[in-house]
DNA sequence: CTCATCTACAACCATTTGGTTGTAGATTAG
DNA sequence: CTAATCTACAACCAAATGGTTGTAGATGAG
């Protein structure tokens, strides 16, 4: 029923991408060192295609980028996006602590287009 | 195919709960002031039952709790859980900055069990 | 050149998600 | 008591998720 262009807001995509243990593990691994897709696939009890899909979800959320290097496609993390997610949650906490009445700021940051 | 008890790990539930704009809006509102379910339902272009389901998702993630007050069910935020999510993302950022080789800590925190 | 490897992508399937309507139980108002 | 309100929950449905297998195109190794 969602007729949206693709998957909703940026926050939608980021949190959805984080809502899976395999994807969080992929992030944690490529933070330390970029890895090829098939190297990642060997780590998990699922097919290469499944891991490709997980990487694609992370890519849609801009949490990782791929860079072709020979015949390999190296996956690496883009931490600035992860930082945006952290700041969004931080904003909710601020909202709590300060009981601020200007909720519009955090909600505005939570829209498509940021 | 998931024969799991219910929805995976705590982090799964928290991030999944946050991956929807309506649910994030509900959190932002009940942070400021607890609201009854039907009061929340009037805010969104969907049925009461739909909002009930969103609240249930937030409840499964322990991001909100309900407290009966007369015939109303007041929804309020539990910020300690939101804080856990923030700390989890913070941990990823630390992992990035310090390139620490003890990834086990953050992964351990990411398991079912607390 | 030939073959193995890495990747992409389509088709398919079961389950979950996010919405609906409808029914029914508590609780308060008058 | 009766009626209106708030909530819960079941049944249903379309679409998205998360997995599979299979096919095919690039690229590197020998």
- Are B15 and A12 within 8 A, CB to CB? no
pLDDT of residue B105: 56
Tell me what the mean pLDDT of segment B93-97 comes to: 71
Domain A10-78: state its class.
mainly alpha
Dmax of chain A from CA atoms? 54
pLDDT of residue A113: 46
* Lowest-confidence region among A19-23, A89-93, B68-72: A89-93
Whole-number CA gyration radius for chain A: 16
pLDDT of residue B19: 95
Rounded to 5 degrees, what angle do the CA atoms A94, A107, A96 make?
A: 20
Q: Mean pLDDT over all residues of chain A? A: 84
Tell me what the mean pLDDT of segment A50-59 comes to: 98
Please identify which residue in the block is written with the tokens 């980028």.
A65
The more confidently predicted of residues A113 and A66 is A66
CA–CA dist B10, A109 (Å, integer): 26
End-to-end CA distance of chain B: 24
Please identify which residue in the block is written with the tokens 């049925």.
B47
Q: pLDDT digit string (tens) for A66-100?
A: 999 999 999 999 888 888 888 888 877 776 666 55
CA–CA dist A35, A64 (Å, integer): 11
Which residues of chain A neighbour B15 with C-beta distances below 8 Å? 15-16, 18-19
Judged by C1' against the alpha carbon of A17, the nearest nucleotide is: D17
Q: Does B53 touch chain A (CB under 8 A)?
A: no
Give the architecture-level CATH label for domain B1-114. Answer: Orthogonal Bundle (1.10)
pLDDT of residue B88: 81
The residues spanned by each domain of chain A are 10-78
pLDDT of residue B32: 87
The 3-class secondary structure across B45-89, one letter per residue, is: CCCHHHHHHHHHHHHHCCCEEEEEECCEEEEEECHHHHHHHHHHH
Tell me what the mean pLDDT of segment A7-22 comes to: 92
Tell me what the mean pLDDT of segment B80-92 comes to: 83
pLDDT above 70: residue B100: no
- Are A18 and B11 within 8 A, CB to CB? yes
Taking only residues 56 to 95 of chain B, the set having a beta carbon closer than 8 angstroms to any beta carbon of chain A reads 77, 79, 82-83, 85-86, 89-90, 92-93, 95
Q: How much of chain B, in percent, has pLDDT values that exceed 70?
A: 76
Phi, psi of A71 (to 5 degrees): -90, -5
Contacts of A86 (CB under 8 A, 6+ apart): B86, B89, B90, B93
């Amino acid at each position: 029923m969602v007729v949206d262009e693709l998957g909703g807001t940026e926050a939608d995509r980021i949190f959805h991408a984080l809502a899976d243990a395999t994807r969080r593990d992929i992030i944690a691994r490529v933070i330390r060192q970029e890895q090829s897709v098939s190297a990642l696939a060997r780590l998990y009890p699922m097919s290469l295609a499944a891991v490709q899909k997980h990487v694609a979800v992370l890519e849609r959320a801009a949490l990782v980028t791929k860079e072709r290097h020979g015949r390999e496609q190296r996956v690496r993390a883009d931490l600035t996006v992860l930082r945006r997610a952290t700041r969004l949650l931080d904003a909710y906490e601020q909202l709590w602590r300060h009981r601020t009445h200007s909720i519009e700021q955090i909600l505005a940051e939570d829209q498509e287009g940021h």
